Amino acid sequence: MLRLKSVHTYYGKIHALKGVSLHVNRGEIVTLIGANGAGKTTLLRTVSGLTPAARGNVDYNGQNITRMQAEEIVRCGISHVPEGRKLFATLSVRDNLEMGAFVRRDRGEVRGDLREFRRKFPILSERWHQMAGTLSGGEQQIVAITRALMARPELLILDEPSMGLSPVLVKEIFKIIRRLREEGTTILLIEQNARAALHAADRGYVLETGRIILQGTSQMLLEHNEVKRAYLGKGYREVWEE
């Protein structure tokens, strides 16, 4: 479904991705693992067209999307939930969600989807007219994911969905991620909490200073000594659980 081949991306002057190749198959959850600054976020931004690649190829369903505008890429079926949610803080939950459907013309179905999401995530109804900025972190994350889903994506890109959330909420978010996959959404995910990400994902890639040095099934990576030492260490978990 999604294929990257030797993608090079500059983040400002920094050569953030130095030839990254990976793929995501339909129906999979794939995660990227790496230290801060390894290039994970840049990679997601490259896929969704926010920071286009300087060299290399990004193919989506056989179509070359390397040079496409972010908006066109959304129309192709890729939605990006950015790090830190990036909601419109002064707009209501409802308005935020409607914004998510900006690429769609089927107003009737958009209304149907809104109803469906309110049923699925009751918290949305409770906060329906509230300004998004006043919501708790977990609630904001649900709004952000729902907003992305309003574009009816085939591929959902999640950048640190559990950031700043309490362990209980993190569990909740991962439950939602798994449910989305069961409903047919393909997911590309990055997470501070590599262990949780690998538990949710089918496969993972390990990114190190802009290069992929290892890939495999989640099971394989969870049992991999180098991965364990570098990314699944005890210290890491404590930072996240603070």
Partner 1 sequence: MRIWEPEYECMSRDELAQVQFERLQSTLNRVYRNVAFYRKQFNAINFEPGDMNDLSELEALPFTQSQDISDAYPYDLFAVPLREVVRVHSSSGATAKPIVVGYTRQDLRSWSQLVARVLTAGGVTADDVIQVTLNYGLLTGGLGIHYGAERIGASVLPTSVGRTDRQVKIMQDYRTTALVATPSYALVIADRMEKMGINPRTLSLKFALLAGEPWTEAMRKDMEERLYVKATDNYGLSEIMGPGVSGECLCQAGMHLNEDHFIAEVVDPATGERLEPGKVGELIITTITKEAFPLVRYRTGDRCSLDYSPCACGRTLARMGRVLGRTDEVLIIKGVNIVPSRVGDILEEVQGKRPAYQLLVEREKNLDKLTVLVEVSEDLFFDKMREQRALVDTLRKEVADGIGITPRMLLVEPGTIRREEETTPGVLDRRRFASQPYPDGGSCALGDPSYPASGLEGPQRKR
Binding footprint of partner 1 on the chain (CB under 8 A): 3, 5-6, 8, 18-23, 56-57, 208, 210-216, 220, 223-226
User: Which residues are registered as beta bridge partners of 208?
Assistant: 211
Shortest CB 207 distance to partner 1, Å? 10
Which residue blocks in 121-233 are alpha helix, DSSP H?
122-126, 137-149, 167-182, 194-200, 218-222, 225-231
DSSP code at position 83:
T
Shortest CB 9 distance to partner 1, Å? 11
Shortest CB 232 distance to partner 1, Å? 15
**Which C-beta is closer to partner 1: that of 7 or that of 97?**
7
**Which C-beta is closer to partner 1: that of 19 or that of 164?**
19
**Which C-beta is closer to partner 1: that of 66 or that of 146?**
66
User: Which residues are registered as beta bridge partners of 164?
Assistant: none
Q: Is the Cβ–Cβ distance between 150 and 110 less than 8 Å? A: yes
Shortest CB 6 distance to partner 1, Å? 6
In whole angstroms, what is the distance from residue 155 CA to residue 137 CA? 24
CB-CB neighbours of 226 under 10 Å: 11
**Which C-beta is closer to partner 1: that of 129 or that of 229?**
229
